[in-house]
Amino acid sequence: MSSASAASRQANPGPARRRSPSAPRVRAHGEQPFFAEDSLIREVQRERLVAISGARALFMQAAHPVAFVGFFSHSASVDDPHPRLARTALAVNTVIYGSERQAREVQEIVGSMHARVRGSLKEPVGPFPAGTPFRGDDPDLLLWILAAFIDSSYRAFERFVRPLSPAEREELWQQWRQVGEIFGLGEDDMPSSYAVHLEYMQGMLESGRLVVTDDARALSRRVILNPPLPAALLPLKELINQVTIDSLPGDLQRQFGFVPVPGRGLTLGALGTWWRLVAGPLAPSVVRHVPPFVMPAPGRGYAEIAELVQQQMS
């Protein structure tokens, strides 16, 4: 049972609803959408500025030394992990925008991959002694990986798009719990409410378990700060990187070796406010939203789409 289980049982409110009771998910297997067209999770994840929060999530994930070794040591290519990262993003998008059948295919394939990941730490790191075992289906590690991703998404949406009401934050969290089920987390493995999720994140940041190793620092900075962007977006890379760095907790900024820049937080905060209140509402959908062609097409299997992504990234 994960470290979130005890806290989860202390607070278990039902999901807040601003849509019909059937909106978050269609349960029947088949080509029905896993999440309804107007579900909040789709509204949030379609924003381009939420998509770039994946960089923050990767830094947060890499700060856990056991999760870092478990993720990268089993990559097909440590020197070029972008194809694997693209497949991971595709898996999440398939669950959020795909059908029930596609989501269940993701569940089967990802579960099988996680079951094959086994290993142990070769050297002691922070509170983890040498020989600490890890496995891909460990609920504690899976929770940290997913929670870091979700936390980054929440923060980006509220910073650049619009504030969420308390009811919406809870509604969204309950939908993310359904995504967690697909990726191998049981009902008691994830915090039962958004408030308990915040307690979990704060607890992890204060636990001493997040220790950035030399390998994690070097590889994360090289990979995350140099994504394979289209040529048209290369001028924005440094701005995106500064947003990513500023969004990290202060201690992790220090551990990853980022030098404090006077006024960076205030400048980026003002930029975020300008985009949220002025530029964003006026921007056309093609600028604001992830294009439909990156979403999983109905009737196509996740494995088939993942193979196409691999070919495009090779």
- pLDDT of the residue at 304: 65
Q: Which two tokens stand for residue 41?
A: 């999770």
Give me the chain's average pLDDT, please: 84
**Which of 52-61, 100-109, 226-235 shows the lowest per-residue confidence on average (mean pLDDT)?**
226-235
Domain residue limits, the chain: 5-313
For tokens 């896993």, name the residue: 34
- pLDDT of the residue at 303: 63
Mean pLDDT, residues 228-232 taken together: 73
Strand-pairing partners, residue 120, are 133
Confidence grade of residue 15 (pLDDT, cut at 50, 70, 90):
very low
- pLDDT of the residue at 301: 64
Mean pLDDT, residues 217-231 taken together: 84
- pLDDT of the residue at 290: 84
- pLDDT of the residue at 292: 67
Reference 9, options 1, 20, 18, 17; nearest CA is: 1
Instruction: Convert the pLDDT of each residue in 135-179 to its tens digit.
Output: 999 999 999 999 999 999 999 999 999 999 999 999 999 999 999
Cβ count near 187 (within 10 Å): 12
C-alpha–C-alpha distance, residues 277 and 264, integer Å: 20
Contact 188, 104 (CB under 8 A): no
Contact 89, 250 (CB under 8 A): no
Comparison of pLDDT for 174 and 313, the residue scoring more: 174
**Which of 218-227, 230-239, 249-258 shows the lowest per-residue confidence on average (mean pLDDT)?**
230-239
For tokens 């398939």, name the residue: 94
C-alpha–C-alpha distance, residues 26 and 7, integer Å: 28
Q: Which two tokens stand for residue 275?
A: 């985009």
C-alpha–C-alpha distance, residues 202 and 84, integer Å: 29
- pLDDT of the residue at 16: 39
Instruction: Convert the pLDDT of each residue in 47-67 to its tens digit.
Output: 999 988 989 999 999 999 999
For residue 309, pLDDT beyond 80:
no
Contact 224, 177 (CB under 8 A): no
For tokens 């937080």, name the residue: 265
Q: What share of the chain is helix, strand, coil (3-state, %, to 5)?
A: 60, 5, 35
- Torsion sign (Cα): 3, 109, 45, 12: negative
* Amino acid at residue number 252: L
Comparison of pLDDT for 290 and 83, the residue scoring more: 290
Instruction: Convert the pLDDT of each residue in 268-283 to its tens digit.
Output: 999 999 999 999 999 9
What are the counts of helices (DSSP H) followed by strands (DSSP E) for the chain?
A: 17, 2
> Which H or E element spans position 174?
helix 166-182
- Torsion sign (Cα): 120, 137, 71, 197: negative
Instruction: Convert the pLDDT of each residue in 109-125 to its tens digit.
Output: 889 888 988 999 999 99
Question: Please, what's the largest Cα pairwise distance for the chain?
Answer: 54
- pLDDT of the residue at 62: 93
Mean pLDDT, residues 227-256 taken together: 88
Reference 84, options 234, 309, 304; nearest CA is: 309
Strand stretches in the chain, DSSP E: 118-120, 133-135
Phi, psi of 302 (to 5 degrees): -60, -40
Mean pLDDT, residues 214-231 taken together: 85
